[in-house]
């Protein structure tokens, strides 16, 4: 039986508010104002380049996939298209929801809307859930984007490498949004003024998926669904792989991103797909820094952070045993050592909330 | 309403802001790219984050926590997640000093 209650209406959520945890000031590394201004500076050029590469590649790959369909020779092209559709859309959704990818607002908004559709997230809802994720990262009951709840359900985590759990959740939710607007849970983080948008976006999504399914039925072929919808499943593995590493196995109910987030050095292809969100401690500490400046931010503050994992494989070797251990002991979490140059973790930051940062649980 | 001597004009770079605390309240004072000065409440209306760590872009101030934006000349909320306008305060410059009329 789980002791943590992740419901926004449950006792953990209530305790987080009553204890002052939700209003607490988070730890951040000191960075001189002029340096930070330079890091925060916006530019259209990197994101325009990357967006042309992304959408251009998708068009070429899907065209070859269609040309070779239904031969198995088309499979590699669909697999590559799927990763760009079902995984790169996650990072585009994310960065554009912050409004930092492009300098020009309408460019952020357009890519955000397209990416939200592809990753199957109501664009009018998830903007707000992500704001909460940043305010109250991994505070139980408050953060609506906790990917690995404790005790973890390993089967669900594995199924989601194929988007199965996400899609199973998405279908009834988008239908419900289309019929009656946001759910009671969504209303806890979406302002009332935005509720009509939630319904409007859902109606558009449902209409597009209905047209795609009708096309598939009319042509007696799943080809339309290979282009729209299914890539969210057969291409999801990369964003699940990288997404789990963001916070998996680390602390919850703390107010220091060095304790609940993970930075991982990754290969250039994964960094393109992931838009540099492998610098995840840095991103959470300074969400105004655009993705293209995160490597520079990392170089600036790395002496105050736990050493990054050296690769995706190494990070999984650290995270996966911790997640498995949490199945039996949900209080367990990884606490990484800080370099001697870093300011120490402040236990008193976290200890005023009952059950948090129990030293015996950390290793 | 009293005019309070808040800072020197060269305390704030162009297209930047500083935090200014007075009488138990916190304010943000801006130096626009056109060379004008403005003042607003110092905390974002979304989740009470200090705007002084944010980014000034033209006539917009972006909150450092959730990237919500305000037009600091009028206080108008310009980008989600901010929905409530920011309070503004009159500013005047005399010599090299910036004065804010606090309510």
Q: What is the pLDDT of residues A17-43, one digit of tens each?
A: 888 888 788 899 999 999 999 999 999
**pLDDT number for residue A2:** 63
Q: In the predicted model, what is the mean pLDDT of chain A? A: 92
CATH code, B33: 2.102.10.10
Region label for B67, one of left (φ > 0), alpha (ψ between -120 and 50) or beta (otherwise): left
Chain B residues close to A128, C-beta within 8 Å: 80-81
As a whole-number percent, the residues of chain A with pLDDT over 90 amount to: 83
Cβ within 8 Å of A, B 66-95:
66-67, 69, 79-81, 83
Q: Report the C-alpha gap between A310 and A241 in whole angstroms.
A: 15
A305 contact partners, CB below 8 Å, separation of at least 6: A29, A258, A263, A281, A282, A338, A339, A342
Question: Is residue A1 in some structural domain?
Answer: no
Write the pLDDT tens digit of every residue in A143-153.
Answer: 989 999 999 99
Name the pTM for this structure: 0.89
Q: Which residue has the higher pLDDT, A352 or A304?
A: A304
Total domains in chain A come to: 1
Question: Is residue A336 in some structural domain?
Answer: yes
Q: Which residues, in sequence order, are bridge partners of residue B8? A: B97
Domain that holds residue B25: 3-101
Domain that holds residue A176: 11-361
Instruction: Take residue B64 and report the two structure tokens written for it.
Output: 């450092």
DSSP, res B103: -
B48 touches chain A (CB under 8 A): yes
Q: State mean pLDDT over A6-19.
A: 90
Q: How confident is the model at residue B67 (pLDDT cuts 50, 70, 90)?
A: confident
Give residue for tokens 């305790």. A15
Question: Is residue A70 in some structural domain?
Answer: yes
Is residue A100 over pLDDT 70? yes
Contacts 24+ apart (CB under 8 A), A179-186: A182/A125, A185/A7, A185/A8, A185/A144, A186/A125, A186/A129
CB contact under 8 A, A288 and B48: no
Question: Is residue A90 in some structural domain?
Answer: yes
The minimum CA-CA distance between B89 and chain A, rounded to whole Å, is: 24
Q: How many CB atoms are closer than 10 A to CB A198?
A: 24
The minimum CA-CA distance between A30 and chain B, rounded to whole Å, is: 11
Q: Report the C-alpha gap between A281 and A256 in whole angstroms.
A: 9
Nearest to B67 among A100, A135, A194 (CB): A100
Write the pLDDT tens digit of every residue in A305-322.
Answer: 999 999 999 999 999 999
Q: Which residues, in sequence order, are bridge partners of residue B99? A: B5, B92
Question: Is residue A140 in some structural domain?
Answer: yes
Cβ within 8 Å of B, A 171-200:
191, 193-194
Total domains in chain B come to: 1
The minimum CA-CA distance between A293 and chain B, rounded to whole Å, is: 15
Question: Is residue A2 in some structural domain?
Answer: no
- Of A38, A84, A7, which is closest to residue A269 (Cα–Cα)? A84
- Asked whether the ipTM of the predicted complex exceeds the cut of 0.95, the reply is no
């Amino acid at each position: 039986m789980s002791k943590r209650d992740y419901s926004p209406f449950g006792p953990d959520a209530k305790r987080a508010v009553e204890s002052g945890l939700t209003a607490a000031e988070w730890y951040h590394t000191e960075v001189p104002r002029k340096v930070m201004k330079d890091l925060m500076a916006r530019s259209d050029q990197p994101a325009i380049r990357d967006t042309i590469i992304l959408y251009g590649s998708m068009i070429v790959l899907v065209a070859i996939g269609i040309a070779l369909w239904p031969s198995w020779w088309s499979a590699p092209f669909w697999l590559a298209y799927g990763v760009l559709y079902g995984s790169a859309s996650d990072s585009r959704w994310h960065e554009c929801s912050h409004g930092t990818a492009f300098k020009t607002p309408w460019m952020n908004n357009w890519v955000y809307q397209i990416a939200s559709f592809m990753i199957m997230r109501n664009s009018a809802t998830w903007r707000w859930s992500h704001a909460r994720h940043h305010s109250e990262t991994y505070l139980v009951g408050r953060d609506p984007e906790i990917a690995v709840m404790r005790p973890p359900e390993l089967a669900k985590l594995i199924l989601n490498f194929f988007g199965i759990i996400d899609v199973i959740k998405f279908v009834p939710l988008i239908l419900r949004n289309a019929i009656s607007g946001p759910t009671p849970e969504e209303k806890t983080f979406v302002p009332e003024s935005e509720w009509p948008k939630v319904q409007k976006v859902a109606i558009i999504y449902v209409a597009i998926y209905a047209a795609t399914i009708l096309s598939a039925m009319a042509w007696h072929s799943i080809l339309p669904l290979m282009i729209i919808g299914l890539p969210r499943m057969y291409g999801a593995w990369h964003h699940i792989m990288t997404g789990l590493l963001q916070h998996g196995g680390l602390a919850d109910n703390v107010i220091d991103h060095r304790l609940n987030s993970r930075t991982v050095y990754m290969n250039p292809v994964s960094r393109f797909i992931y838009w540099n969100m492998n610098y995840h401690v840095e991103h959470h500490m300074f969400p105004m820094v655009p993705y293209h400046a995160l490597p520079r931010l990392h170089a600036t503050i790395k002496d105050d952070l736990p050493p990054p994992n050296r690769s995706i494989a190494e990070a999984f070797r650290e995270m996966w045993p911790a997640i498995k251990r949490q199945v039996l002991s949900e209080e367990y979490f990884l606490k990484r050592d800080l370099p001697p140059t870093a300011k120490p973790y402040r236990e008193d930051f976290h200890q005023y909330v009952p059950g948090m940062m129990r030293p015996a649980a950390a290793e | 309403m009293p005019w309070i001597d808040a800072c020197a004009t060269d305390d704030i770079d162009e297209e930047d802001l500083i935090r200014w605390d007075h009488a138990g309240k916190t304010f943000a004072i801006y130096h626009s790219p056109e060379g004008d000065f403005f003042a607003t409440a110092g905390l974002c209306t979304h989740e009470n984050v200090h705007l002084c760590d944010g980014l000034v872009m033209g006539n917009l101030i972006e909150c450092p926590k959730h990237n919500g934006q305000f037009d600091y000349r009028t206080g108008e909320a310009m980008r989600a997640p901010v929905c409530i306008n920011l309070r503004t305060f009159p500013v005047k410059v005399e010599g090299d000093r910036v004065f804010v009329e606090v309510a």
